[in-house]
Amino acid sequence: AAITKGQYALDAPVSGGDVGAREAKLSIMVGGDELAFASVLPLLEQMGTNIVYQGKAGAGQHTKMCNQIAIASNMIGVCEALAYASTTGLDPETVLKSISSGAAGSWSLSNLAPRILVGNDEPGFYVKHFIKDMGIALEVAKEVGLHTPGLALAHSLYKQLADMGLEEKGTQALYKVLMPH
């Protein structure tokens, strides 16, 4: 009924956190009618720099889950690398300079690792929302018969973080679970 009135709905989740939002450099993953996408593209370009039409309705949401799956395991790696550097006597800031521009480089390593080093747990993306997203991805993966052990581990670790009362913190707070006390 909405289409006959010229109304369309698109699913258009974003990635890029608080930095991407402030700088209008979000990555936007869009699902839905392609003509509707074309008509709102100028609006989306005001918010993001990487705007990709993914396909039919729901495709944007599934792409966001792919993003969250990739980030989940990556955040474990970022936090473990910094914890390893600290516990082996290395200067984590110096290590970060070396590894962030090499093969290990990632958005999380460049944007969230520096926050970890100064104890900044303020959210660019909340732990509680990340847990929700990972839960959705785990549920869909199970429905389609996909084994996602990295995602399951990350989900478990972030739930530990929430159990510590840190669900309102940013995803980089995972460091608190992985760093020996």
Catalytic residues: 64
CA angle 69, 180, 118 (to 5 degrees): 75
List of E strands, 16-168? 26-32, 48-55
Residues paired with 13 in a beta bridge: none
DSSP string, 49-83: EEEEEEESTTHHHHHHHHHHHHHHHHHHHHHHHHH
| Of 30, 28, 21, the residue nearest 124 (C-alpha) | 21
Distance CA 70, CA 180 (A): 25
Reduced to 3 states (helix: H, G, I; strand: E, B; else coil), residue 10 is strand
